[in-house]
Structure 1
Amino acid sequence: MDTQAELQERDPSSAPDTGPGEGSRSSRVRDRLTGPLSWRLSWRGTLGVGAVCAVFVLLFSTFVVQPFLIPSGSMERTLRVGDRVLVNKLAYRFGGEPRRGDVVVFDGTGSFVREGAAQNPVTALLRGAAASLGLAEPAETDFVKRVVGVGGDRVVCCDARGRIEVNGRPLDEDYLFPGDAPSEVPFDIVVPEGALWMMGDHRSRSRDSRDHLGEPGGGVVPVERVIGRVDWFGWPLGRVGSLPGTSAFDSVPAPGPSHG
């Protein structure tokens, strides 16, 4: 008669709930998973993923495609103040050379600007990181211009109709800012090998190769200083797409002795 009662007492499945002082094991595990330690681990994981993403974006910007904030109107109407363009850093990396008509970003140190005083390395690092993401204006040594002459070219201003000539062929520059003359400054230069003659599209507002003719760099930019080619618009949304090309240089002959 007492056997059934004894079995029930020994059966764990029929054991009563533990008392309020002990609590259940499952609730204790759940408290651990949802407690302060879990919250800290969750935030650490989020920060870790964010750091990895930031490093990836910076590496991609450094070696592949870099956003570039247009700081001035020297390239209007092609590029406007506040535009964010995407600079293709692979365009010239595998043996390619800048061509006439390309819009490029370059480091003007030694050509457009003189070597400056050293700046705070931390400030320079933070500014460089922000600029590489298109969140801040580029360094004062970085410029965006159009390639008008390459090594060996003779670039002259101007012919009887006020047009710039390259290797004796006048240019019909369809990209110029409306109302601008090709140049108000006369010049006649043979571009050294390994260098580029740079000009802005808004000629009346652009300080470019013309303005540095009498300086140590002679106004030309070494090809090795080119950071990349502007290939796409990234912002504003209404202008997203490829940078328009130009046929202005299609009929320009290769440089030769007769053009020197």
Structure 2
Amino acid sequence: MGDVAIDAQPERERPEGGPGEEAGTAAGDGGHGGRKSGKKKRPLWQELPILVALALALAFLIKTFLLQAFLIPSGSMQNTLQKDDRVLVDKLTPWFGSEPERGEVVVFRDPAGWLAGRPVAEPNAAQKFLGFIGLMPAAGEQHLIKRVIGIAGDTVECSGTGPLKVNGKPLDEPYVFAGNTACSPDAPGQFKVKVPSGEIWVMGDHRQSSLDSRYHQTDPHGGMVPVGDVVGRAVVLAWPVGHWATLPVPDTFGQPGIAPAP
């Protein structure tokens, strides 16, 4: 058998004219064999609204599923966090079944009227919009931020001025506000509790200025916070720039034997 022809097309005749008129090089054809693109580029004023809409949609998705900014409303987490600091909260890991761990700083919805009676500033329209898409901390929402001390199955106790103990292990707490003691001398500050399944025990780092789990032991949850009310873990102190820092779990929560016996 003979060789198969690879290109059965007849050779095109060279167009007449000078070199500048050859196919694909004619002036104004854009190097596409003389064919002009059928699409016309939109002017910027037409594209800008589309880009803005995409950016807002992306910001909303990030705020809903990944990260959200929150404003620190009080000094209950000093000196780890100062009043009016902004933190970024990881909202993604709870979607994969991750639950809060000892030592994490978490944001949670008010579980049982902890903020009852406290005035909440009514945000203006701009604050509502920017908070809705996550470009500003959520305004007017009833959230709190504390450190997780005990998780399901843990026994947490404190007497006198401390130290605070988890499952019998005393905690070295360098994050506690300078001049504070691990426990408060008043009655709610002296406690021994066991954390039920599906809940956590939380405390502020400014121990003598934090109305945390200790002071809500008579509520329906016994001072605990249901895991389902946890929005996410605060991972970065983002604003002001001079306060920027990550929020890791302190080493004291990783000491051997702190987990309860099975």
Pick closer, same or farther for the CA change 1:126–1:157 going to 2, 3 Å: same
Shift of 1:73: 0.8
Counterpart for residue 150 of structure 1:
151
Structure 1 residues 55-97: Cα deviation after superposition (integer angstroms, max 9, x where no partner): 2101111100111111111111001112111111123321322
Pick closer, same or farther for the CA change 1:165–1:225 going to 2, 3 Å: same
Residues in 1 aligned to 2:162 and 2:225: alpha-carbon distance in whole angstroms = 25
Pick closer, same or farther for the CA change 1:132–1:81 going to 2, 3 Å: farther
Q: Which shifted more, 248-257 or 77-86?
A: 248-257
Confirm or deny: 8 A CA contact 1:71 1:137 kept in the other structure: no
Q: Which shifted more, 64-73 or 42-51?
A: 42-51
Per the normalisation by structure 1, the TM-score is: 0.72
The percentage of aligned residue pairs carrying the same residue is 41
Pick closer, same or farther for the CA change 1:181–1:138 going to 2, 3 Å: farther
- Secondary structure at 2:57's aligned position in 1? helix
Bigger Cα Rg? 1
Structure 1 gap segments, 5+ residues each? 1-40, 115-119
Structure 2 gap segments, 5+ residues each? 1-42, 117-121
Counterpart for residue 67 of structure 1:
69
Counterpart for residue 109 of structure 1:
111
1:1-260 → structure 2 map (5 Å cutoff): 43=45, 45-110=47-112, 112=114, 127=128, 130=131, 133=134, 135-136=136-137, 138-158=139-159, 162-184=162-184, 185-251=189-255, 252-256=257-261
Confirm or deny: 8 A CA contact 2:151 2:199 kept in the other structure: yes
Structure 1 residues 122-151: Cα deviation after superposition (integer angstroms, max 9, x where no partner): 989963852663635644421111000000
Residues in 2 aligned to 1:151 and 1:157: alpha-carbon distance in whole angstroms = 18
Pick closer, same or farther for the CA change 1:48–1:131 going to 2, 3 Å: closer
Amino acid at match of 1:207: L
Counterpart for residue 14 of structure 1:
none
Confirm or deny: 8 A CA contact 1:67 1:87 kept in the other structure: yes
Q: Answer 1 or 2: which has greater helix percent.
A: 1
How many residue pairs are counted as aligned between the two chains? 211
Confirm or deny: 8 A CA contact 2:162 2:181 kept in the other structure: yes
